[in-house]
Structure 1
Amino acid sequence: MDLINKADSPQRQNEKLQIIVNALIQRAERSSDHSGIAYAQFERAALLEAKVRERTRDLEHTLNLLHESNRALAAANAVSENAWSNLRLATETIPDGIALFDSDDRLLLFNGRFCSGIPDISGNLQVGLSFNEYLHIVSLSKFLDVQEHGSAENWVAWRLAQHRKSPVQFNVSMVGGSLLQVQSRRTASGNTVILHSDVTNIVRLERGRAMEQQVRLLRTTLDHVNQGVCIFDRSGACVGWNSRLDSLLVGASNHAWLKQHLADLLERLQSWIRPDGGFSFDTLKAWSEMQFGRPPITFELTTNKGTILSVFGQEMPDQGFVLSFSDVTADREAGKTLAQMNELLEQRVAERTTELDKALAAAKRANVSESRFVAAASHDLAQPLSAAKLFIASLSADDDNQQVADIARKAETALHSVEYIIEALLDMSRLDSHRANFDRRPVPLNTVLSALDNELSLKAEAKGLDFSVVGCSLVVDSDPGFLRRILQNLITNAVRYTDQGKVLVGVRRRGTNARIEVRDTGPGIGADQQKLIFEEFRQLDHGRDDYRGLGLGLAIVERACRALGHPLDLWSELGRGSCFAFEVPIVSEFIAAPKVAMKSAASTKSISGLIILQVVTDPHLSRALSMLIEGWGGIVLDVTTVDEAITLLKDVDLIPEALVLDGRLKDGQTGLDVYDFVRQLHGPLPTRVITADRSEALLDRCEARQIKIIPKPIDPVELIEFLAGIKAGVSPEVDVSDT
């Protein structure tokens, strides 16, 4: 246990020890015990007195050191005060404002010029002010221009962002146009020194020098431009022009223009120049007297020497304006010359155009005549051809005479070739005359492929070819008739020119398109011939003498594909074969409905007892149809005109079960007129129109009545299937609009 508190000062400790010693001595003197306790107490008191003396010496030494430290501290304070005083005096001698912030961004020091450009805040600056408080005070000053930043708060945020950088230098705009340059730099100890400099005069001086330099450059530039330039201030007084204007207005005394108003100058120039094109000097005066917002103005002047000047006037940013003068005499003379040449050329072009129009009209007439001839020839040929086919179909039914049947089949084959040629010529005529109206619709590919497979497989098998058509469930967007014709021509061509091997027809999906391919193992086509084969009447010579057609098949394919937008492609190699392909847009997947199994009356070629009203104008065709239908067991009511049909139906008490009507009858009447009359009497009946007319008008009229067409030359199979379907109870489509 300590007798004294070590926290006490040396003087206090010494006082306590002295008190303890005195107390012990007094106690020893009063004690009557001489057994040695008093001596022990005395000895302890002596030790305590020695410690007191030692502590007293330490205290005196400490006090001496304290006095020395106080003297050193006083000297240091004096030196510091002297240094701060000198620093303040030094900052006051600096011509710019200066301030010092410590590492905690507290204001330590600033001179009298600091923020002197912001007099309404000078009384609010004091040592110890934080940097944020300093910025807040400055932002509230009425002398600070914060327009560039939008608000005082935005200015404070911008100034804080600058404060974080070191070193940094920027300008602060003041109200009245003065500029305060601020430089900020941090010291090694983390303090920040900020220096304010008024650079208004310096900036103005630099701007003045730059302006003078720009003026000299502008004058030099204007003296070297090809146009004459005259500059006017906002009051309309002339303040300058270039040397080019002197050369353009020689003799106009333009050296006396300086400070002259535009109106006065125009009065002086009226005897020397005149405005052109209906423009007047009054218009120019009114334009120059506008206070602001003058629109650009353009006009022309002609001098008394014949020089033509194009003048362009435009307002300048200071509401003054400038007039530029360009010598366009040569251009106007050239323009007149060009106008004369243009008139001459237009006259020649008009003459040539008239000649070309006449030639074009003649060509159109020839083309129309050709198209009409082909259409008429096709129609006229279709009549006897249909009759011939029907007569031959009647002969081929005679199973008892094999020789007659063979001759009939050969004649039928020849007639099929004639029919193909007529159809090809008609298709070429329609495609060339751009009269082909395509009936684009969703077409199930499998329907077209299976029909062509049935039609052409026998011909391929007769040549010993491996013929294969791969089915496809896709539905494409195309014209069903032309799509079938394209594929028929390609497959027929492949079978015709392939002597051994195989012909393969299939479809590949390629993105959103179906790529239809016809491949064969024929002789192939050389690279130099692959473009020529698509020309009409072009056939390749493969050393064979048999009849190969007119060479129109591939020409029809190429033109139909181009018109329908189906890209056509050809790969071929001599000795290996060929692949013709074209792409058609896919509409959707198609799943064919299951067919109803039934016995077709066409297979038996018997329509026994079926009553058919037949109205056909051509007697040969009418007789051939009658013989064919009667050979199948049908009963034919045969007439040739509408009147005969009306009379017959009124006289006999019979209702026909089917109608077979010619498309064209006598006196401009049609088979549809007969149909309309019969429909009024007995309602709609199953009807087929036989015609070689492929016009859209006839197709539309038939579709409106839901009647299908059997094209001429007539296909006996299509006709017997129609009649046999009625006999078998399968009603074809009829017009039910009136039922």
Structure 2
Amino acid sequence: MSIVNPSDSLERQNEKLMQIASALMRRVEQNTDDSGVAYAQFERAALLEDQVRQRTLDLERTLDLLHDSNARLAEAMAEAEAARSNLTDAIETVNEGFALFGPDDLLILSNSRFCQHMHDIAEKLHSGLPFDDYVTLVSESRYLALPDNETPQDWANRRMKRHQDNRVMFNVRLIWDRWLQISEHRTNNGGTVILQTDVTDIMRLEREERNKLRDKQSRMIRATLDHLNQGVCIFDSDAQMVGWNSKLGDLLPVPLARFRLGAQFEMLLAQLKEDITFEAGFGPEKLLTWVNRKSGRYPISFQVNRSTNVILDVFAQEMPDQGFVISFTDVTAEREAARALFEVNELLEQRVMERTLELEDALSAAERANASKSRFVAAASHDLLQPLSAAKLFVSSLTASSRSESDLSTIAKAESALCSIEQIIDALLDISKLEAGHASFDIGAVALSDILMPLKNELEPMAAQKGLDLRFVHTDITVKSDASFLRRIVQNLVSNAIRYTETGKVLVGVRRNGGSARLEVWDTGCGIAEKDQDVIFEEFKRLDARASASEGMGLGLAIVERACSRLGHPLGLWSELGRGTGFFVNLSMTHSKNNSQTDLSEKPRASALEDAGLIVLLVENDPELSRAMSLLLEKWNVSVLDVRDGPTALTLLEEIQLKPDALILDYQLTDDMDGVALYQLMHARYGTIPTRIISANRTAALRQLCAKSGLKLLSKPIDPSDLRNFLENAARSQSG
């Protein structure tokens, strides 16, 4: 319990403390006992007096701060009141209605012009009014002119939806043809400022200008209608005439006096029936049905004929206000011209048909001749390859070490001549297939190194014989093409470069060209004159007239040009007389093939064919070719079972109870059984036997058939080295 009342003033508390201290001092002086209690009380009183003094100082400082804060608050309130007064005066000077709503959508202040045109709600606006209440007051005001079919609640809902946007501007129509433009803006603290601008004068002026423009447009439309070469009449939604032009009276058999505002369509149609007839399939009833529809009319077009031989084209279409417009066009001259043109066209069509039939007959004859030529070339090539193959095998069987050098030279020349004939026949076959469009391509990924490197080994002896430097630049590019035809293209280009280059070198390489690769063949030969650069791609065209037939018949570049065209490989040429020639073939690049590489060191050593003692079944229906192959095989110490057809071969093996070590089967044996069918029967009976199909047929279909059966094809004329490699492999498989 305190001895001083806290509610007393500082002066009163000091006075009480002084009295207490005096009383204590008197008691100390009177009481002099040994216990020292009086002195202790004196010390406490002195300490208490010091605390009271410190508290008094703190209170005085607090009072000073409080007086200072009150003074500043009074100044701020005065400034705020002055600012509010200035703001109120400022918005009062604005010529527009102004209102400010706080972030809580409560009205803070507004000027006297705000809602001044709505006298029934102006007195209800006060600070703290919610925004939705303000909207409700406006929507229910009798001064607001609501749109048709809209209730005050609908208007209020639409107004509140607009209030959600940061910036709003729209016009409000009041009674007595007055207009207010409402502009609503959002403040930084989320409040809303509304400005009301009286735009009545602007709206009335705009209406006047619009009416003037409408009158001007009406006059322009009227003038335009009168200048049209068509008769035009316009009807409203009640099928009453509201507009027409003067041309209408010239085209229709109706007195011009009948064309007046409000004239009914049915009345005009009744006048027209007496003088016009409708085209088949469309009559006045159908037109009247179309007119009586109130909306959704589709455009219609028909033709009418007047008794004066005038033809009118009629077009009717609905307008946006559910009225419709009908136009009449005089097409008499056009119909007469069309009729005359139709007659001329019939005559021309008859002549064209006659000429077309003549051309078709000529084309059929040309196609038959071309097909006959292609069949003749293919048949003749096939028939030539049979004896040619036999001749090559006969010549190969003559090459023995016991013969003289003269005989060996003669045999070598004969082999060279036969190879030249084979190349010419192959070229003729390729030309025939490419021209007839019968060449089939196996398009896929082709590694150019697989094409170029074998050709390098094959053509280097030819270049070395002429003392030329033949260079192939290594490449790892893979392209999209047919491997066999691409090899033929490159082989012909390089062979041609070697043939026409006397000294210097031939360079073969591949250059990247964006997304494609350009295969280039350069030589330092005599060059090609510009006038001859198109001729060289024709069949049997050679610039060097002194060249022998063994050096080519001028078919190589013809095959290159046709093969590149069919494969879609652009072919280019650069040449200059005395400097050389360059051929370019553009190829599409693709991803590399994952070809497995075989290590040559792992191949087994080939055993001698002569020591293997092979027994080979040869089925060939050409006696000369069969005899030549038998001689060659017997020279290699191979026993040959020679038969002419499949049934005979099956019967022979059944009688001697022998399984041959290898099969050499001609594809074209008899109509009942070809070489592939014979192999399948023998495979089912004896199991797997090394087999080769031989044929002069070089079509892709045969290659695919052989590949499907797991067979390989030896094309006629047969290369003895290929035949020996097959037999050596068969011997190794037998010994293994």
Is TM more than 0.5 here? yes
The residue correspondences of 1:251-330 to structure 2 (distance < 5 A) are 251-258=253-260, 259-330=262-333
Q: Is the 8 A contact 2:616 2:640 kept in 1?
A: yes
Q: Which residue of 2 aligns with 1:121?
A: 121
Structure 1 CA distance for aligned equivalents of residues 659 and 326 of structure 2: 98
Structure 2 CA distance for aligned equivalents of residues 700 and 149 of structure 1: 84
Secondary structure of the residue that 2:565 maps to in structure 1?
A: helix
Q: Which residue of 2 aligns with 1:698?
A: 702
* Superposition deviation, residue 245 in structure 1: 0.8
Alignment of 1:239 with 2:239, yes or no, is no
Q: Is the 8 A contact 1:399 1:405 kept in 2?
A: no
Secondary structure of the residue that 2:591 maps to in structure 1?
A: strand
* Superposition deviation, residue 448 in structure 1: 2.1
Q: Is the 8 A contact 1:439 1:479 kept in 2?
A: yes
Structure 1 CA distance for aligned equivalents of residues 666 and 547 of structure 2: 42
* Superposition deviation, residue 577 in structure 1: 1.7
Secondary structure of the residue that 2:224 maps to in structure 1?
A: helix
* Superposition deviation, residue 119 in structure 1: 5.3
Q: Which residue of 2 aligns with 1:373?
A: 376
Match of 1:335 among 338, 345, 350: 338
Match of 1:225 among 223, 228, 237: 228
The residue correspondences of 1:33-52 to structure 2 (distance < 5 A) are none
- Residues 205 and 679 of structure 1: is their aligned pair in 2 closer, same or farther, counting only changes over 3 Å? same
* Superposition deviation, residue 656 in structure 1: 0.6
- Residues 499 and 280 of structure 1: is their aligned pair in 2 closer, same or farther, counting only changes over 3 Å? same
Q: Which residue of 2 aligns with 1:613?
A: 617
* Superposition deviation, residue 331 in structure 1: 1.0
Structure 1 CA distance for aligned equivalents of residues 276 and 302 of structure 2: 13
Q: Is the 8 A contact 1:139 1:152 kept in 2?
A: no
Q: Percent identity?
A: 43
Q: Which residue of 1 aligns with 2:171?
A: 172
- Residues 293 and 331 of structure 1: is their aligned pair in 2 closer, same or farther, counting only changes over 3 Å? same
Secondary structure of the residue that 1:124 maps to in structure 2?
A: coil
Q: Which residue of 2 aligns with 1:62?
A: none
Q: Is the 8 A contact 1:97 1:116 kept in 2?
A: no
Structure 1 CA distance for aligned equivalents of residues 446 and 735 of structure 2: 23
- Residues 235 and 725 of structure 1: is their aligned pair in 2 closer, same or farther, counting only changes over 3 Å? same
Q: After superposition, what is the alpha-carbon deviation per residue over 1:336-394, rounded to whole angstroms, capped at 9, x for unaligned?
A: 11111111111111111111111111111101100000000100000111011111111
Q: Which residue of 1 aligns with 2:358?
A: 355
Alignment of 1:151 with 2:158, yes or no, is yes
Q: Is the 8 A contact 1:97 1:197 kept in 2?
A: no
Q: Which residue of 1 aligns with 2:650?
A: 646
- Residues 149 and 390 of structure 1: is their aligned pair in 2 closer, same or farther, counting only changes over 3 Å? farther
Structure 2 CA distance for aligned equivalents of residues 558 and 270 of structure 1: 75
The residue correspondences of 1:432-451 to structure 2 (distance < 5 A) are 432-451=435-454
Secondary structure of the residue that 1:372 maps to in structure 2?
A: helix
Alignment of 1:673 with 2:677, yes or no, is yes
* Superposition deviation, residue 504 in structure 1: 2.1
* Superposition deviation, residue 514 in structure 1: 3.0
Match of 2:664 among 660, 666, 669: 660
Structure 2 CA distance for aligned equivalents of residues 539 and 449 of structure 1: 25
Structure 1 CA distance for aligned equivalents of residues 528 and 269 of structure 2: 85
Q: Is the 8 A contact 2:417 2:550 kept in 1?
A: no
Q: Is the 8 A contact 1:611 1:636 kept in 2?
A: yes
Q: Is the 8 A contact 1:125 1:134 kept in 2?
A: no
Q: Which residue of 2 aligns with 1:407?
A: 410
Structure 2 residues without counterparts, runs of 5 or longer: 1-84, 184-192
Amino acid at match of 1:422: I
Q: After superposition, what is the alpha-carbon deviation per residue over 1:30-52, rounded to whole angstroms, capped at 9, x for unaligned?
A: xxxxxxxxxxxxxxxxxxxxxxx
Q: Is the 8 A contact 1:395 1:404 kept in 2?
A: no
Structure 1 CA distance for aligned equivalents of residues 467 and 536 of structure 2: 26
- Residues 725 and 339 of structure 1: is their aligned pair in 2 closer, same or farther, counting only changes over 3 Å? same
* Superposition deviation, residue 681 in structure 1: 1.8
* Superposition deviation, residue 173 in structure 1: 3.2
Secondary structure of the residue that 1:729 maps to in structure 2?
A: helix
Q: After superposition, what is the alpha-carbon deviation per residue over 1:507-550, rounded to whole angstroms, capped at 9, x for unaligned?
A: 23334433222222211222332232222222213876785422
Amino acid at match of 2:257: H
Q: Which residue of 2 aligns with 1:216?
A: 219
Secondary structure of the residue that 2:511 maps to in structure 1?
A: strand
Q: Is the 8 A contact 1:470 1:506 kept in 2?
A: yes
Q: Is the 8 A contact 2:609 2:727 kept in 1?
A: no
Q: Is the 8 A contact 1:181 1:198 kept in 2?
A: yes
Structure 2 CA distance for aligned equivalents of residues 492 and 431 of structure 1: 21
* Superposition deviation, residue 316 in structure 1: 1.0
Q: After superposition, what is the alpha-carbon deviation per residue over 1:39-93, rounded to whole angstroms, capped at 9, x for unaligned?
A: xxxxxxxxxxxxxxxxxxxxxxxxxxxxxxxxxxxxxxxxx9xxx9xx99xx9xx
* Superposition deviation, residue 731 in structure 1: 11
Amino acid at match of 2:349: E
Q: Is the 8 A contact 1:607 1:723 kept in 2?
A: no
After alignment, is 414-423 or 396-405 more displaced?
A: 396-405
Alignment of 1:710 with 2:717, yes or no, is no
- Residues 353 and 693 of structure 1: is their aligned pair in 2 closer, same or farther, counting only changes over 3 Å? same
Secondary structure of the residue that 1:505 maps to in structure 2?
A: strand
Q: Which residue of 1 aligns with 2:458?
A: 455
* Superposition deviation, residue 474 in structure 1: 3.4
Match of 1:392 among 391, 395, 411: 395
Structure 2 CA distance for aligned equivalents of residues 472 and 631 of structure 1: 43
Structure 1 CA distance for aligned equivalents of residues 176 and 302 of structure 2: 42
- Residues 471 and 659 of structure 1: is their aligned pair in 2 closer, same or farther, counting only changes over 3 Å? farther
Q: Is the 8 A contact 2:393 2:720 kept in 1?
A: yes
After alignment, is 145-154 or 402-411 more displaced?
A: 145-154
Q: Which residue of 1 aligns with 2:628?
A: 624
Secondary structure of the residue that 1:572 maps to in structure 2?
A: strand
Q: Is the 8 A contact 1:387 1:624 kept in 2?
A: yes
- Residues 212 and 129 of structure 1: is their aligned pair in 2 closer, same or farther, counting only changes over 3 Å? farther
Q: After superposition, what is the alpha-carbon deviation per residue over 1:96-117, rounded to whole angstroms, capped at 9, x for unaligned?
A: 9865789x99767536xx6355
Match of 1:684 among 684, 688, 706: 688
TM-score (norm 1): 0.77
Q: After superposition, what is the alpha-carbon deviation per residue over 1:564-610, rounded to whole angstroms, capped at 9, x for unaligned?
A: 112222222222222212122333235651333346649x6646411
Secondary structure of the residue that 1:318 maps to in structure 2?
A: coil
TM-score (norm 2): 0.77
Q: Which residue of 1 aligns with 2:566?
A: 563
Q: Which residue of 1 aligns with 2:509?
A: 506
Match of 2:544 among 541, 548, 556: 541
- Residues 593 and 195 of structure 1: is their aligned pair in 2 closer, same or farther, counting only changes over 3 Å? closer
Secondary structure of the residue that 1:302 maps to in structure 2?
A: strand
* Superposition deviation, residue 696 in structure 1: 3.8
Q: Which residue of 2 aligns with 1:73?
A: none
Structure 1 CA distance for aligned equivalents of residues 372 and 389 of structure 2: 25
Match of 1:523 among 523, 526, 529: 526
- Residues 525 and 132 of structure 1: is their aligned pair in 2 closer, same or farther, counting only changes over 3 Å? farther
* Superposition deviation, residue 484 in structure 1: 1.2
Structure 2 CA distance for aligned equivalents of residues 554 and 223 of structure 1: 74
For these two proteins, the number of residue pairs brought into alignment is: 624
Structure 2 CA distance for aligned equivalents of residues 354 and 392 of structure 1: 55
Structure 1 residues without counterparts, runs of 5 or longer: 1-79, 163-169, 185-190, 733-739
Q: After superposition, what is the alpha-carbon deviation per residue over 1:223-269, rounded to whole angstroms, capped at 9, x for unaligned?
A: 111111001111111222101112212x4224213222212221121
Structure 1 CA distance for aligned equivalents of residues 605 and 257 of structure 2: 113
After alignment, is 273-282 or 506-515 more displaced?
A: 506-515
Q: Is the 8 A contact 2:620 2:644 kept in 1?
A: yes
Amino acid at match of 1:172: N
* Superposition deviation, residue 694 in structure 1: 2.1
Structure 1 CA distance for aligned equivalents of residues 550 and 620 of structure 2: 34
Structure 1 CA distance for aligned equivalents of residues 232 and 407 of structure 2: 106
Structure 1 CA distance for aligned equivalents of residues 155 and 613 of structure 2: 105
* Superposition deviation, residue 709 in structure 1: 0.9
